[in-house]
Chain A
């Protein structure tokens, strides 16, 4: 494995499977009376969050703590960043404090990659702009494999705001590597121009896609990034691209419904669907901790000099 985890597209099949298998073993540890391991004692993990996040930050924090690493949480609000400190100066500060790994979320695509130039430790991308969110894709793949028993040959539909979604990008690359086939479903305005170069197909008709899906992944309509008129109204979007009970009925009996959270109930997914037994939304959060433990272990658990 590389020293950093910046992009799901960088992962080879072997790397990806190693992470999922390690996560599988670590998930079983969570059921023990003492779900804590001494493996990363004395290592420091910094959570560097320039954007709001609850589940990703807490998930990384829980993962690092279960492996006995020391965790330093840094959020842009209430820090020197608010006074105008640059990413580079913040990075040099962290470097001087001896961070073994920096988990970074940043609004700018490519910020984690930049960080690798200034930090001696490992950099883990926890979401950068509209680029990638590799650990989310890994936990999604992990959830699919646990629920459906395999990834090779799975048919996955990713539905919604693909244009702004780093989750969709990471999933397309990772699922392609793992042998699943992906179809993106979205209004043309919410698809990136370069989508033709991605290893996936595209559809504008959700109801037509659903009967051939093993997995349907609903994406959040990201109001904070909706600066232009991408669709006429939320209501129209939800009628054409939302998942309700009736549409869920079109799925094969074994198919599962995923959502990376946070959800807009009533927009891209109805409450009935989100709370149905087919929905893996809560499982995804639990699995997130195991997958992030696996990533931290594989990046930090071995020799420092590689």
Chain B
């Protein structure tokens, strides 16, 4: 979720909640749950939400391939143009949207993001999906669910439930983007919202 994007290259001060091993195990478990819930993940398309949802989706796809030998289409879905808070900040840079060539019609789309917070990013993603095609079902996988939902949205797969205060920040760092794997809880001074 872009709201929680820290500056890359700087290790945030705060309490580390997940380390590389825990992130790996959480993704492995989510992978197994996806296989169970979707009966072998035959029709699954993984769509990561930029920035950090995209490497997470790729990692999940690799897990599924390793465990079940199935090849899962992976893509990315930028939701910037669908945000409901565009007018609150200067125009944002667009992320990259890349839908697998086979499309999403009739498939089970699993949206992948790093942190689930207000649910507004997911709402925007659902709107964006509606313009891309008509999936059979849409599910949601997140590495961290930090609570404080502002919309009737719930995740299907959760790496870690993390009780937080609204003022706190959850910072997810991933090797592909930030050079290391970690999830840190930072006491909020200047909350990023």
* A residues at B contact (CB < 8 Å): 1, 18, 21-22, 25-26, 28-29, 32-34, 36-39, 67, 297-304, 306
Contact = CB atoms under 8 A, between A and B. Distances in A.
B90 A33 contact: no
Given A38-B82, A297-B81, A301-B86, A25 B133 contact: no
Contact of B90 (A21, A37, A67, A302): A302
Nearest to B88: A303
A29 B127 contact: no
4 closest A-B pairs by beta carbon, nearest first, are: A302-B91, A302-B90, A301-B91, A25-B94
B97 A306 contact: no
B97 A303 contact: no
A297 B91 contact: yes
B135 to A, nearest CB: 13
Dominant secondary structure of chain B at its interface with chain A? loop
Given A301-B91, A302-B90, A32 B82 contact: no
Contact of A32 (B89, B91, B132): B132
30 contacts: A22-B94, A25-B94, A25-B95, A25-B97, A28-B97, A32-B131, A32-B132, A33-B131, A33-B132, A33-B133, A34-B132, A36-B131, A37-B81, A37-B82, A37-B131, A39-B81, A39-B82, A67-B81, A297-B81, A299-B91, A301-B92, A302-B87, A302-B91, A302-B92, A303-B87, A303-B88, A303-B89, A303-B90, A304-B87, A306-B90
Contacts of B97: 25, 28-29
A22 B93 contact: yes
A303 B132 CA distance: 27
Interface residues of B, number: 19
A98 to B, nearest CB: 15
Interface of B: 78, 81-82, 86-97, 127, 131-133
A37 B127 CA distance: 10
Contacts of B132: 32-34
Contacts of A32: 131-132
A67 B86 CA distance: 13
Given A32-B132, A297-B91, A301-B91, A39 B86 contact: yes
B131 A1 contact: no
Contacts of B95: 25
B130 to A, nearest CB: 8
A285 B96 CA distance: 23
Contacts of B92: 301-302
Nearest to A68: B81
